[in-house]
Structure 1
């Protein structure tokens, strides 16, 4: 049953981070920063990325929608939420309509991990996973 599940996951065209992921690298990341600091850093990160175009920014909802052109075209929603003073969570939801004979999940997963790594260089990571 596990092999069949892994095959379905591999061909998934959508990857989402959350506190309830079995894959720990896709768990929500919590940073020592205010909402405004983190939101601005993330917005700047995507504005400076030549492969990305910010489609919409909704600071009121804590969301940034990004169109990604390379290596495959996909759509990303970044959600930034204040958990407590000086602790802010970041989650991603990425999807694509493209098809790949080897499956898109590994490519999309790698992309999300790289975004977390880039944010980790800008802000202090408090923890990965469930909010206490």
Structure 2
């Protein structure tokens, strides 16, 4: 299993909207960055991701799971752009802010710190476990 972080501006697509999609999940469309797209190409069904509210809040608020194979992005006819679908798994007990992540020396190399503008980014297993702990989970999700 691989781990990821996906970003969304909550006034455009919020965690509440994601949860409302239920088991069907939602296409993670509109990504127009090659590195972010390539990260989605590397995803497999069952991979987990942190759902991060960017711009407003700047915090990890939930956990999602990849629920589809890579497929064409339905918002464009350009074949270069592909995406996966995500379904909500759970809220985090305590949101983890960008300041929390930046304040934890063991997360200094996390993509959220080093590649802040990238909207779909990998998370190392040890980073995942630590952020889950910071979020109040007794065991990593």
TM above 0.5, one fold?
no
TM-score by length of 2: 0.28
Q: Highest Rg: 1 or 2?
A: 1
Larger RCO: Structure 1 or Structure 2 (Cα < 8 Å, ≥ 6 residues apart)? 1
TM-score by length of 1: 0.30
Which structure carries more helix by proportion? 1
